[in-house]
Structure 1
């Protein structure tokens, strides 16, 4: 039962070759062409979403010279969201539910931020370890707490994304596995609950991509 339940997250195919990771490239098909003479509705929707996110990221960064960081976070948001969205289709591998993918993003970002902060703004990073107004007797303890919180940031970013994507898919799999043994009335209730879960998972895929990119932007602003 447990092997069959978690087999939906197994990247290996029947030939013991991880072709399922190619599903991460399928998101390119959902990016609209930007060279049409008349933009499509999907193109305008995507551009409107990018404009809203760009204005919010610029507020979080609060500096005009961080436009490269904004473009980086927009690309990160788009990649995570489209991978989460593709996972809602049948027989498509949910690549964002694996720590191999999410931890790679979070570790690269966290190491880059830490290297930039400690090399370029060492005094600010040292002062950030002790919050303003901390009593002298608590300063060593606060240094330990702030250091641990900085270290686990990459792990919390990746685990939050993967756990949320796994939880929803597991719940949908558990509910749908009881379908063949149910009566007509309960089967209708299961279909209604599955429809609501699909809507919930679609919103979760958007929210988790937004949370990942916003937290990464906040971590970036702390080292500048």
Structure 2
């Protein structure tokens, strides 16, 4: 019997190079059209979304890191494109693998830690002990805050990968039962698949937004 998660593993390759991971760059194919074509409703909608995200991230980052909104908007766009591309048939969902999600979160977290401990050393030490903590609890609070800080890249990557793979796995398992069902039950299955697909579309947007917002909040803590 094949592994239950084997459908999510890269399999197609040429000269031992995996082709499935090329789906990560497919989102770039949608961008050049916005630069040379006349403005459309889709491009105006996307510009409105970017402007809204810029205003929100600017407030979260405070005044010292306003230019960093470009980084987090690009991160949001990359994850959003990959999440939506994964909903299309026969397209590999790279955002459901820890290889990609950890690649996005770990370098960002390490860069923030280096910046914080080098330029804001006193603030980083003060952040380990929340204000108003009793003296007896200070060692435990330092330990708890240190652990919670270390696991941040892991929680970011696992949250995105787990939410994406869970919905895809449920859609796949329900779809595989289709040939063995009667006609009456098949309509119920199709309806449930459509509802799950709508839910997955909402999850694709929410998870990319959550990833970008949490990364922004982690950046604002090093001020």
Q: TM-score, normalised by structure 1?
A: 0.95
When residues 30 and 14 of structure 1 are mapped into structure 2, their CA distance, relative to the original with a 3 A threshold, is: closer
1:179 aligns with 2:150: no
Q: Give 3-state SS (helix, strand or coil) of 1:12's partner.
A: coil
For residues 32-43 of structure 1, the aligned pairs below 5 Å read: 33-36=33-36, 38-43=38-43
Q: Distance in 2 between matches of 1:14 and 1:136?
A: 59
Deviations 1:141-161 (CA, angstroms, capped at 9, x unpaired):
000000000000000000000
Aligned match of 2:144: 145
Aligned match of 1:45: 45
Aligned match of 2:66: 67
1:135 aligns with 2:134: yes
1:27 aligns with 2:27: yes
Q: Distance in 2 between matches of 1:28 and 1:152?
A: 31
Alpha-carbon offset, residue 2 of structure 1: 5.0
Deviations 1:8-65 (CA, angstroms, capped at 9, x unpaired):
21113266541110111110122253334630111011101101111110111121x4
Give 4+ residue runs of structure 1 displaced > 3 Å after superposition.
14-17, 34-38
Q: Distance in 1 between matches of 2:107 and 2:45?
A: 30
Aligned match of 2:208: 209
Q: Give 3-state SS (helix, strand or coil) of 1:140's partner.
A: helix
Contact 2:13–2:19 (Cα < 8 Å) also in 1: no
Q: Distance in 2 between matches of 1:101 and 1:201?
A: 19
In the comparison of the two structures, how many residue pairs are matched?
222
Q: Distance in 2 between matches of 1:35 and 1:121?
A: 40
